[in-house]
Structure 1
Amino acid sequence: MTYYLQAMRGFSDFRGRARRAEYWMFALVYLGIYLVAGTLDVVLGTTQLLGAPVLATVVALVHLVPAIALLVRRLHDTGRSGVVVLHRPRPAGRGGAADRVAGGRRRAPSERLG
């Protein structure tokens, strides 16, 4: 829970690094919150009333910027630039985003970000 709160407090911090544990614990807590919100949407009937899961959408929007900031910091920790997040996704057969992330330029330890 500490990693989740750290990520939410540092929502505007796109510099520095994020350890693997911080990234995955944030993802795990976010997934739990999202599942609870989606379940509440079904129980309360907001999905049928408005045609969209209201609580789950609010949860997703609240976590959007912190998740992107954490992803950029995690990329910095692995020696990649955060600009990779801005790339337009392409079909996997023609060098998709996963290929660019996996094969991105590695930086020398002296040149690492953060």
Structure 2
Amino acid sequence: MNLSRTQIAAFCLVKAYLECNAGHGLTIEQLMRTSGLSETSLRLGFKFCFQITIYEYHRDISMEYAKALLEDGMMVKLVARKLGYRNATNFTRAFQYVFSKPPGLISLKKKRSEK
């Protein structure tokens, strides 16, 4: 895949936008407006440049953000809400997929270290 410097810059801009908006629900339309690229160009080019899909990248950085909130003592239910999950169960599944452990263990570890 041949990419122009302008396209590469657009993918880097999208990556930075995702990082700045970790924990927020974003749509492909928002990313298309940010980059000035079509949906297909954006999806394929991002994956080509960074070896990860836009969805996977956003999920991973959002879960890192969630982990930091849990380590700071925020309750799982509140973290789930903050990240836009309608219920904590779906958040727990996503968190467990990324970290191979439930978010409750992170907050429990924090509580134990405070004693």
TM-score w.r.t. structure 2 length?
0.31
Higher relative CO (Cα under 8 Å, sequence separation at least 6) belongs to: 1
Greater per-residue helix proportion = 2
TM-score w.r.t. structure 1 length?
0.31
